[in-house]
A and B are shown apart, each in its own frame.
Chain A
Amino acid sequence: MELAIGIILGCCALGAGAAMIAGIGPGIGEGNAVASACEAIGRQPECKGSVTTTMLMGCAIAETTGLYALVIAILLIFVAPNMLVNILLNAVK
């Protein structure tokens, strides 16, 4: 029984860590977006305001995939272990 619960907890933690590999994508994407925004501001400093606003919007949308992964990781850490252990205990009964 202890072994089964241990496997559940360990696999939940491993899954959460693996899910956060998705953080690479938004990191690269947002880096590209900010680099391009810096270039644009350097070329045309007078439109700094609108470039910054558009960049923040783009960053927020690029972040979405990373946040999906984050939500899954949070569910795996805080919600899944309790649920799975309860299922196991009920099954054993």
Chain B
Amino acid sequence: MQRSLCFKIVDVLLIIGAVLPLVFGMILKILFNPASEGISISGALVYFTIPMPLQNLPITESQVNSALVVITIFFLCLYFTHGLSVKSNLKRQLIAEWIVKQTQSLVKTNMSDYFSGFAPFVAAIMGLSAFSSLLALLGLYAPTSDINIVGGWAILVFVLITYYKMKCGPLHYVKSFGDPVPFLSPLNIISEVATPISMAFRHYGNVLSGAVISVLVATGLRGLSNIIYSLLPKALERVLSNLPILQIGLPAILSIYFDVFSGCLQAFIFAMLTMLYVASGFPEEDYFARKAKKLANLKK
């Protein structure tokens, strides 16, 4: 099937739209953070601050990078769904259909039928988290290794959980704290507050520990290659000492585990926990009993 020229031009534009934010992020990183000799572990760079009445609002690297990831995912979605048709032989349509089918089956197995509309949200949170972690492969600061970003997502999930717990009215929600015995309600409140904290710390700690270990290994390998050079004769040492032999490929092996595997796994776990918490927080039987009662009252 021959595609028209216009279709191809739109394709190319969409791919450029997906790649351009990443290039922009790299340029921003190079402009604000020139390459230095020493390897250091630091938090997100502050690009500039906006004066605000209560407190100055710093615009950091992680905020900018997560916005760039959002733009990239937006254009990727447009690219995958470009030229959708019932009788299609496009490979990208198969990929898009596979993604949708997988998330829908995941939501169906982990949540009840009431939450069948939850699949887009789960896919969005999974994609955002996975792409944010994978950003470290490009040498950019991964937004997920900043607690503020992940904490924001965790608070969003906490609001959702509370919303679904309140579906039966605020009284039912307050009653649920004294569940086995009212005497245990402080513990219930603590476990309620611990949910977003543990979700945020789990994701952020995993990604950050990977980054810290990678930097430590790179520093250690640099020291090791310096020791090897000092064993060589003086003339040879002067020529070779600028050549990083050990730290050129070995840290990449660690990166496969810490950035690719761990990042994708944490995205999956974050989405999975979101589904489990929301589904378990929703008092389904009480809700439907209440709804049936209301309907019966209306009929009278």
The yes or no verdict on A and B being binding partners is: yes
Interface SS majority for chain A: helix
Minimum distance in angstroms from B264 CB to a CB of chain A: 11
- B168 beta carbon closer than 8 Å to chain A: no
Asked if residues A67 and B202 are in contact (CB atoms below 8 Å), the reply is yes
Tell me the smallest distance from the CB of A34 to a CB of chain B, in Å: 14
B202 near A74 with CB under 8 A, answer: no
User: Which 7 A-B pairs give the minimum distances between C-beta atoms?
Assistant: A67-B205, A60-B269, A70-B205, A64-B198, A67-B201, A71-B205, A64-B202
Chain B residues near A57 (CB-CB < 8 A): 269, 272-273
Q: Is the CB of B206 within 8 A of A67?
A: yes
* CB within 8 Å for A70 and B209 given contacts A60-B202, A63-B202, A78-B41: yes
Q: Which B residues are in CB contact (< 8 Å) with A78?
A: 41, 43
Q: Residues 187-228 of chain B: 1 if any A CB is under 8 Å from the residue's CB, otherwise 0? A: 000000000001001101110110010000000000000000
Number of interface residues of A (CB under 8 A): 11
Q: Give Cα A60–Cα B274 distance, bound, in whole angstroms.
A: 13
- Per DSSP, chain B at the interface is helix
Which residues of chain A from 13 to 64 have any CB-CB distance to chain B below 8 Å in the complex? 56-57, 60, 63-64
The residues of A with any CB-CB pair to B shorter than 8 Å are 56-57, 60, 63-64, 67-68, 70-71, 74, 78
B220 to chain A, nearest CB (A): 17
Q: Does B265 contact A (CB under 8 A)?
A: yes
Further contacts, 9 of them, CB under 8 A, given A60-B269, A78-B43: A56-B265, A57-B273, A60-B265, A64-B198, A64-B201, A67-B206, A70-B205, A71-B201, A71-B205
A-B contact pairs, 9 of them (CB 8 A): A56-B265, A57-B272, A63-B202, A64-B201, A67-B202, A67-B205, A67-B209, A74-B208, A74-B212
Chain A residues whose CB sits within 8 angstroms of the CB of B272 once the complex forms: 57
